Structure 1
Amino acid sequence: MSFYSSVSELLRPVTQFKFSSLVNVSQVRNATKRVSGSRTNKNDSAGRRLGPKAYENTFVKPGQIIMRQRGTKIHPGENVGIGIDHTIYALEPGYVKFYYNPFHPYRKYVGISLKKDLDLPTPHFEPRTRRFGYVELTGLDATKEETRMSRKEFLATPKLKALQEEESAFAHKTIEYFKEQLSEYKDTVEDENMGAERLFKIYQLVTVGQPLEQAQIQATFDYLWDLKLAHNGADISTQREKYLNFVEKFDNTVSVDFSNLQDAKLFAYITPQARSAKKQEITNKLETSYSNKVLKASEKSEVMNLIKSPGIFSQKEQTDLTDTFLPKVLPLDVPGSIIEDVDTKKPPKGVVITRVYDAETKTLKVVGRPKEVYSN
């Protein structure tokens, strides 16, 4: 074959390609932009210096840091405190002790032992060692220590004094009020001052939710405890017996209704049997005469007087009876509580126009309701 014929074969157009099944064709894409290094990888924050700052048997002062940590890896033990960042610090001067508590065997604790030869934890049923060795202050140092206060206490002192004077004035006024009431029972009450103070103490306990019987027991305990502290360990058996006799006679002679202190009046003692019978009588009367009906103003006053009968119902029982027989709004099923045929534009006197839900038609309808269905 000549040179021209071989060249013509090469220049002839190709009409069909034949690829072998053994040949794999893949596309490779190369990067078109140079990658730069990250600057954030070059910075590093300083260490937090976590870990123990005082070791076993090291003497520390109050406020000194013992352990800095993240989380309670080491738990606070005796005579130490813990901050919001789990930092453990000393509350008393002493020696650092790391130990395990038998009640929490998987927790490690750190505490302060007031003496170097004492180990922690203190046995469960033994008292903790107290720090003695205080030096008595005298003269100007003692005055400074007695009058020392924080800035927060100093700023709150005027307000606290005003509240204290207000409470003292209220206590004096209340005790005098009870003395006036006790003047009617001079023949049976031996000591009016002691009786008035006892009534005031009971009043304070009742107003915070204690029942009358429990308040009487608490008032007796508080008086005897104050008497014991005042005599500083001396024999008070005579005064104790005298006061208990007075309390037994006083509580079985007179009592007072604390539901409304301004209108509170003393009344003769009512036995539990008589109170239960009177309670049942009043409840029956309320159910038969004042239940499921529209009450007039005079009838509402009668119901309230029955509920507020002195010494019969507790405060909770009075509240429940008031909600039952004197609700804020009477239910719709009470006879006479709905007036359907009423002029909504010019309602009669004593009628309130309102909307109620009709269960049959499942719609709202406008009706009139007497003012007596409302408590106010």
Structure 2
Amino acid sequence: MSLLKSIADLTGKTKTLSIGSAPYFNQVRNATKRAAGSRTNKNDTAGRRLGPKVHEGNFVKPGQIIMRQRGTKIHPGENTDIGRDHTIFAMEPGYVRFYYDPFHPLRKYVGVSLTRDLPLPHPHFSPRSRRFGYEQIIEPEAAKQEEGHMSRKEYLQTPELKQKAEELEELLSNKRTEFKTEISNKLGESTENLLNLIVERMVNIYQLSRVGQSIEEAQAQVTFNYIYDLKLKLNRGEIKDADSFYSLKEYYLNNVANATNSKLAVDSTGTIFDYLTPEQVQIKQAEIIKQLENDFTGKIIKLEEKRSILNLIETPGIFTKEKQAQLKSVFLPRVLPVTVPGTIADDFDPKKPGKGVTVVRIFDDKTKEVKTYGRTQNAFVPQE
């Protein structure tokens, strides 16, 4: 049974189509469900605080924000830069200037003028004003005021810095006196000028050794610094000519640097000792580490053993300051491992451990559990 449907054509006549027998038929379906609408949020978001942060003629520091905006409504000018969110900030200390550029009349710019009376923009073909350094202050009162000016942070730290500088100067003065006596005894007779040069060289090597440099690095650095100072004196005219410079340089290299490098050295503790080659130092290091492992590993450390370990680790000229700290952490820990015999209490109550027993909890990597131990006083390395 075929279905029949009547439709009207453009002329108004009614036609009958057989749906079952029609070869082509476009069926139109309407939506039966209403689309979801958006919900209105009555709460407005907070403002983004856009706009100028520093106005015309005000002083700014490098990095200080001048303008926050969305898009480049105002463009960065001289001594300023722009971030990826279109924030304009200062690149130099100076005074804010808003201006128009004749070559871009539709753009407004903001720049930083290095002086209060300097307008922006500069003429197109004139050189830009730039900071190349400090200017000499001729007036005595202004110079005194500039020298005495300091920030609040500097003012608060001045007493501490002054005290540390005095302590360092006193330490170096005492080391100069000690070095002068020891070097004169080891090297024998020498002129006063040569002895002072050697003493000053040893003091400089001692200071570099204190900050972790090896003996060879410190010796090379001190030699370089001395020759560089001679070059500066030559450029300033304190040394007459190049011949005098080369003569002073050769004298220092032959009689001071090369003569002392192969004979004497100083470590981070300020001890002068006979110089050892890198091969000799390496052999001595292996001997000391082997002795430490054989004599002081897996045993209770008393005060006498601690002093012996320190003497071995702090042998002059063998280990750097950084290596000494590593060896102390291995052979002189604050608490000995639980594997050391005599450092574990056999029977103890975790709630009432008793006198001389300290309860500690240690995570075991193998069993993935936290184990409770009672440590005796022998587990802790004594402190002097």
The correspondence for 1:241, drawn from 250, 261, 266, is 250
Counterpart for residue 69 of structure 2 = 70
Aligned to 2:18: none
Q: 2:172 aligns with which of 171, 174, 188?
A: 174
Aligned to 1:184: 182
Tell me how far 1:137 sits from its aligned partner: 6.2
Deviates more, 1:320-329 or 1:84-93: 84-93
RMSD of Structure 2 on Structure 1 (CA):
5.3
Mapped partners of 1:300, 1:352: distance in 2: 22
The residue that corresponds to 2:357 in the other structure is 352
Secondary structure at the counterpart of residue 148 of structure 1 = helix
Report the structure number with the largest CA radius of gyration: 1
Q: How many residues align?
A: 301
User: Measured at CA, do residues 300 and 98 of structure 1 come closer, stay the same or move farther in structure 2, by a change above 3 Å?
Assistant: farther
Q: What letter corresponds to residue 329 of structure 2 in structure 1?
A: D
Q: Is the 8 A contact 2:210 2:321 kept in 1?
A: no
Unaligned runs of 5+ in 2: 1-43, 104-108, 114-120
Aligned counterpart, 1:283? 289
- Asked if structure 2 preserves the Cα contact closer than 8 Å seen for 1:340 and 1:368, the reply is no
| Letter matched to residue 70 of structure 1 | Q
Q: How does 1:150-165 map to 2 (within 5 A)?
A: 152-153=150-151, 156=154, 160=158, 163-164=161-162
How far apart are the structure 2 equivalents of 1:166 and 1:358? 43
* Residue 226 in structure 1 maps to residue 234 in structure 2: no
* Identical amino acids, percent of aligned pairs: 27
Q: Any idea what the Cα deviations from partners look like across 1:229-257, whole Å, max 9, x if unmatched?
A: 33434432222222233122222221222
Q: Which amino acid aligns with 1:327?
A: P
Paired position in structure 2 for 1:253? 263
CA shift digits 1:175-194 (9 cap, x unpaired)? 33233234122152753333
Of residues 194, 212, 216 in structure 2, which corresponds to 1:213?
216
Amino acid of the structure 1 residue aligned with 2:183 = Y
Alpha carbons 1:278, 1:312 under 8 Å: kept:
yes
Q: Report the counterpart of residue 201 of structure 1 in structure 2.
A: 204
- 2:273 partner SS: strand
**Contact in 1 for aligned 2:215/2:317 (Cα 8 Å):** no
Distance 1:223 1:318 in 2: 29
Q: Secondary structure at the match of 1:337?
A: coil
3-state SS of 1:321 partner? helix
Secondary structure of 2:88's aligned partner: coil
Alignment of structure 1 residues 1-376 onto 2, 5 Å:
68=67, 70=69, 73=72, 79-80=79-80, 86-88=88-90, 116-117=124-125, 138=138, 141-145=139-143, 147-148=145-146, 152-153=150-151, 156=154, 160=158, 163-164=161-162, 166-168=164-166, 170-186=168-184, 188=187, 190=190, 191-234=194-237, 235=242, 236-245=245-254, 246-258=256-268, 261=269, 264-341=270-347, 351-354=356-359, 367=374, 369=376, 371-376=377-382
The one-letter amino acid of 1:354's match is V
Secondary structure of the residue that 1:354 maps to in structure 2?
strand
Higher relative CO (Cα under 8 Å, sequence separation at least 6) belongs to: 2
**Structure 1: where are the runs of 5+ without partners?**
1-40, 55-59, 100-107, 121-128
Any conservation in 1 of the 2:76–2:88 contact (CA below 8 Å)?
no
TM-score (normalizing by structure 1): 0.59
For 2:50 and 2:363, locate their aligned partners in 1 and report how far apart those are by CA, in whole Å.
71
TM-score (normalised: structure 2): 0.58
